[in-house]
Chain A
Amino acid sequence: MADETVKMEDVDMISRRRAKRWIPFNVALVLPAQLTVMAVVLIPTLIILWLSITDWQPTQGIPWFKAYVVGLDNFRELLHDHRFTAAVLRTLFVVIVCMAAEFVLAMSLALLFLDEWPWRKIAVSAIILPMMVVPVDAANAFFMLFGDRGPINYAISLIIGRSFEFGWLENPNWALLPIMLAEIWQWTPLMFLLILTGLMNLPENQVRAAYVLGASRTKIFFKIMLPLLTPVIIIALLIRGIETFKIFDPVYILTHGGPGSSTETISMFMYDSAFEFFRMGYVAAAGLLVLVVVVSICVALARPLREHHR
C-alpha cells in the first residue's frame, strides 16, 4: 500500500514537471533570437537614453558614464539645428519620391508581364538584376555615370548638340538627383517582383467571374485586381519605405552629404556628427528622436500587416 502511494506521487511529479516545463520549452526556442536582439538593440537603446542627456565626446578624455549631464539641451539644440531639420525633411522627400517612382514604375512594368510570351522569363531575370548588385558598387557605378565626363553627360551632349560637362554631384541643386536615381534604379526591381508575383497569384476565379459578368479589362483591374492586391502593395511600400528612410550607402559614396550639406540625409547627418565632429551626446539625442518617430510610425503602419497575418 505504501509502495502504491509512492508510485502515485511519482506520476504526479512527472505530470507536474511537464506542466511546468510546457511553457518554458517554447520560450527557450525564442531565447537565442531574443537575446541577440536585446544585446544589439535593447541595451544600446538604454545607453542612448543616457547619452542623449549628456554632452559626451570621446575627445574629452572622460569615460562615457562619467559624462557631464546637460539635461534636455541636446534636444533643444536639435530642434533649432537647421542642418538637422533640413536632413529630416530631405529624407522624407527622398522617401516619398523614391517610393512613388518605384511603385509607379514597378506596377506599370508588372502589368506588361501578365501575359505569357517567349523570353518572358529572361526579361524578368534581366529586369531584377539591379537589386542584386552590392549597393556600394551600384553607387560607384552611378558615380561614374554622373561624372562630369560620364556617359550621362555625353548622352545629353549628343542630344543638345554641344558639349555638356555638367558636374551633377558638385551642384547643390542637382546632387540629390543621382542619389535618388541610384536608389530607384536599384530597388524598383524588388517592388516589381513583389507586385508581379502578387498579380500572378490573385484568386483566379474572381477575375474570371468579373469577366463572365461582362466587365472590361480596365474595370477588372481597378475594381477587382487592385483591391485584392492591396495587402501586397502595402507590404511592398512598407518594406521600401523603411529601407529608404535609412538611406546611407549611396549618399556616402556619391556625395558624402555634400556639396555643403545639400544632400545630407538623417543617417548621413548622424554619421558626420558622430565621426567627423565626435558629438556623441548630440547624435544620441538625434538618434533617440528618430527612433521614437520611426517606431510610432511603424506601429501605426503595422496594423494592416498584422491584420493581414491572422
Chain B
Amino acid sequence: MEAKLELKELTKRFGTVGAVSGLSLIAREGEFLSLVGPSGCGKSTTLAMIAGLLQADGGDIVIDKRVVNDLPAQQRGVGLVFQDYAVFTSLSVEANLAFGLEVRGVSRVARKKLVKALAEQLNLTSLLKRRGGSLNMSEMQRVALARVLIVEPKLLLLDEPMSNLDASVRASLRGELRQIQRARGQTVFYVTHDQAEALSMSDRIAVMRGGKLLQIGTPEEIYQRPSNRFVAEFIGDPPINVIACDVRRDGGSIAVDVPGFGNVAVGRGIIDEGRHLIGVRPHDVIVGHASTPGAIQTTVRFIENFGAEHVLHLEYLNELIRATTVPGFAHVGANVYMGFDMTHAHLIEAGTDRIVPIDALSPNAKDRH
C-alpha cells in the first residue's frame, strides 16, 4: 500500500530541550496508526508539526509524496481533532459540521445535504440544532470528529481524543471510531498515552519515549515481540513481570536460571553471561494448587478482581509477581504454586534494556515430565 504520510528525521527543540529527535515513520494509505507513549514523550509535538501548528526544526513531513513543511495548515489536507475537541461553542452543531464545507465554498443546499448524511451516519441527527457549548464531552468528541470528517481529509489526526471521557464511554467509543475509520478507508494518525486504546484500534503502533521512536509494528508484534524493556512494560494490562535472572552459556546455547526456580529455559541467542532480566506476562505465569515440576510455593498477597479474570499478586523474594487466573481461583493468603510458561517470555539484556532475540527459548527439557 502507498505511503500517505512520511516523516523523515523529524526534529523539534524547545530551547535546548529536544522534544522530538530524528523521528522517521510511514503511515500507509487507509491505515490506523497509533503513536503511543507516556506524557512528555513528544507525541503531541509530532502531531502539531504534522498539522502545521508547529514549525519543525529539522526533517521533512511528506503527505501524498509532497513535502509540506512550509505549507500552511489549511493546504496540507489534514483534519485535526484536538484533545479538548475545540468544538465551536457559539455555533450550532449543524454550523460546526458545515464550517469546513462553507470555507471551501460548497453551496448551502449541498452543505445541508452532506451534513445531514454524515449526521445520520454518526448518530448526530438529534444534536444538530444544539449549541456547541451545551454538549457534554462525548457529544463534543463526536461533533469534533464529524466536523473534520466531512471535508474528507487525506489524513485524520487525533490528539488523545478519549482522555476527557469516562472509562465506560471510552471503551464503547473505541469500536465506533475504528468502524468509522474502516468504513471510510480513512488514514488515521492517533496519539494516545493509553496502550489499551492503541492495541484495540490500531493497524500499527509506534511507541515513543523521550522524543525517539522505540518500535513500530502491528499490535500483535508490539505485544508479543517488544524490542526493549520499555515497550514490554508499557504495553499490556496487567503489566508484564520483570524478574532478575542469570544467564549461562552452554556451548552454542544459553541457559536461563531464575533465583528460586532454578533453570527455567534454554535457547540460542547472543548475550553475555551474568545477571539479566526476564519478562513474563501475567498470562504466562502458571498457578496451581498442587506442586508441579519447576513450580515453587508462594502466598497470595493481593487479588485484583477484573470480573472476568482475577490477577493474583504472588510473593516472590522481595517483589510481587502478577498472575492472571480465572475468578475464584484462590483467596488472599492462600498458598499456591507458581511456575512460568517460558514460550512467550522475553530476555532483557541488563544495561541496554534491549530484548535479546532468542531462538527457540523453550522450557528446560530436563524438568519436563
Contact = CB atoms under 8 A, between A and B. Distances in A.
Interface of A: 203, 205-206, 208-216, 219, 223-224, 227-228, 230
Contact of A208 (B78, B82, B100): B82
Contacts of B144: 209
Contacts of A211: 73-74
17 contacts: A203-B86, A206-B87, A208-B53, A208-B86, A209-B88, A209-B144, A209-B147, A211-B73, A211-B74, A212-B52, A213-B100, A215-B99, A215-B103, A216-B103, A223-B88, A224-B90, A228-B90
Interface string B125-151: 000000000000000000010011001
Contacts of A212: 51-53, 73-74, 78-80
A225 to B, nearest CB: 9
A203 B89 contact: yes
B84 interface: yes
Interface string B59-95: 0000000000000011000111010101111110000
B147 A213 contact: yes
Contacts of B184: none
B86 A223 contact: no
Interface residues of B, number: 24
A211 B104 CA distance: 12
Contacts, number: 60
Contacts of A228: 89-90
A213 B84 contact: no
Nearest to A215: B103
A207 to B, nearest CB: 8
B90 A209 contact: no
Contact of B88 (A214, A216, A224, A230): A224
A108 B86 CA distance: 26
Indicate the member of A203, A205, A213, A215 with the most B CB atoms within 10 Å: A213
A205 B147 CA distance: 14
Interface string B151-165: 100000000000000
A165 B225 CA distance: 93
B87 to A, nearest CB: 8
Interface in B177-218: none
Interface in B97-113: 99-100, 103-104
A216 B99 CA distance: 12
A184 to B, nearest CB: 29
Given A209-B80, A209-B82, A214 B74 contact: yes
Contacts of A210: 88, 99
B355 to A, nearest CB: 39
Given A209-B80, A230-B90, 19 more contacts: A203-B86, A205-B82, A206-B86, A208-B53, A208-B86, A209-B82, A209-B144, A211-B74, A212-B73, A212-B79, A213-B79, A213-B99, A213-B151, A214-B74, A214-B151, A223-B88, A223-B99, A227-B90, A228-B89
Nearest to B151: A213
B284 to A, nearest CB: 44
Given A212-B51, A212-B79, A219 B89 contact: no
A224 B91 CA distance: 8
A215 B53 CA distance: 14
Nearest to B52: A212
Contacts of B88: 206, 209-210, 223-224
Nearest to B84: A205
- The listed residue with most B CB atoms (<10 A of its CB), out of A205, A212, A216, A223, is A212
Contacts of A223: 88, 91, 99
A66 B99 CA distance: 70
A213 B53 CA distance: 12
